[in-house]
């Protein structure tokens, strides 16, 4: 993706999300490590860009125990 395309995508995405109170980040079925890492990155980017929004991530299927330390309940 060229730099201008990325800037346009980012502007459009944050334009759509601006003012939202809650945002849910998901991945494909049976989340693998790449998808988990991507989801975590997107959550952090959104939390910085939209500090007033409640940002959560959810994944399907079983994930490895190595991800337990990142689990949040509630």
pLDDT tens digits, one per residue of 44-55: 999 999 999 999
- Give the pLDDT band (50/70/90) at residue 65: confident
Task: Please name the residues in contact with 22: beta carbons below 8 A apart, sequence gap of 6 or more.
Answer: 53, 54, 55, 56
CA gap 17, 21 in Å, rounded: 9
- Supply the pLDDT for residue 74: 47
- The structure's pTM equals 0.76
Domain ranges of the chain: 20-70
| Top-confidence residue, 71 or 36 | 36
Give yes or no for a contact between 39 and 57, defined as CB atoms under 8 angstroms apart: yes
> For the chain, percent helix, then strand, then coil, each to nearest 5?
50, 10, 40
State CA 60 to chain mean position distance. Answer: 14
- Give the pLDDT band (50/70/90) at residue 19: very high
């Amino acid at each position: 993706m060229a730099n201008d395309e990325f800037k346009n995508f980012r502007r459009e995405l944050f334009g759509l999300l601006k003012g939202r109170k809650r945002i849910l980040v998901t991945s494909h079925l049976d989340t693998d490590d790449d998808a988990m890492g991507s989801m975590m990155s997107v959550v952090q980017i959104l939390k910085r860009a939209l500090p007033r929004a409640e940002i959560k991530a959810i994944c399907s299927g079983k994930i490895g125990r190595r991800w337990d330390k990142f689990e949040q309940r509630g």
